[in-house]
């Protein structure tokens, strides 16, 4: 059933095979590697397991026709959202220390870069992306957003998505 859904998606959207292959490599890394010696290695892991999701999402979500940004900059923003999300996932599982403060700063850096591309997506796709970008405290406690809070944050995400579209048209 999942193969049928993927086949249908690939037939409807111009998806590149590379992010799919890279994601599989990330899954392989998950089975053999648990530590990374430097940020370059960690970044590569984040790319494989999460950045690829962003790259796969752009063709499905679409780029707004009125966007004056290059497709590459929008793909980069999607990649950065994945990197920021994966760094945040890692940070949730690790205790606070000096090293983590640097990683938190780094994750926020990637989220800021991702925001630049969120407003360039097709209008219908902006709202869910902005919902994932909204700031909540996931660095000092396990991130969990209950149904009520999710519903209460959706209007803010919707407003951001709409206001960003008006900025594009100016």
Sequence-distant (6+) residues with CB within 8 A of 145 are 136, 153
Structural domains in the chain (count): 1
Give a yes or no: residue 1 inside a domain: no
Q: Which residue did the predictor score with more confidence, 134 or 86?
A: 86
**Own/partner long-range contacts of 104-109 (Cβ < 8 Å, ≥24 apart):** 104/139, 106/39, 108/84, 109/84
Sequence-distant (6+) residues with CB within 8 A of 103 are 87, 90, 91
Give a yes or no: residue 2 inside a domain: no
pLDDT at res. 141: 53
| pLDDT bucket at 164, cuts 50 / 70 / 90 | low
Give a yes or no: residue 165 inside a domain: yes
pLDDT at res. 95: 60
| pLDDT bucket at 41, cuts 50 / 70 / 90 | very high
For residue 111, what are its two tokens?
A: 């989220």
Where residue 111 sits, what CATH number does that domain have? 1.10.600.10
The mean per-residue pLDDT over the stretch 27-36 comes to 89
Give a yes or no: residue 3 inside a domain: no
Q: Which of the given ranges, 5-9, 22-26, 128-132, 138-142, has the highest pLDDT on average?
A: 22-26
Give a yes or no: residue 43 inside a domain: yes
Give a yes or no: residue 23 inside a domain: yes
Please say if the pLDDT value at position 170 is more than 50: no
Domain that includes residue 100, residue range: 12-169
Q: Which residue did the predictor score with more confidence, 19 or 111?
A: 19
How far is 18 from 20, CA to CA, in rounded Å?
5
Give a yes or no: residue 134 inside a domain: yes
Give a yes or no: residue 31 inside a domain: yes
């Amino acid at each position: 059933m999942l193969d049928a859904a993927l086949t249908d998606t690939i037939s409807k959207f111009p998806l590149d095979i590379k992010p799919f292959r890279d994601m599989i490599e990330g899954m392989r890394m998950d089975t053999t590697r648990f530590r990374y010696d430097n940020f370059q290695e960690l970044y590569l892991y984040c790319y494989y397991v999460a950045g690829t999701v962003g790259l796969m999402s752009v063709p499905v979500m679409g780029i707004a026709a009125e966007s004056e940004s290059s497709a590459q900059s929008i793909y980069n923003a999607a990649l950065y959202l994945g990197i920021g999300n994966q760094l945040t996932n890692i940070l949730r599982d690790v205790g606070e220390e000096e090293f983590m403060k640097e990683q938190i700063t780094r994750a926020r850096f990637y989220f800021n870069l991702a925001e630049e591309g969120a407003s360039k997506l097709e209008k219908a796709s902006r709202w869910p992306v902005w919902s994932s970008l909204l700031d909540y405290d996931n660095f000092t406690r396990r991130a969990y957003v209950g149904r009520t809070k999710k519903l209460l944050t959706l209007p803010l995400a919707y407003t951001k998505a709409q206001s960003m579209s008006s900025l594009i048209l100016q």
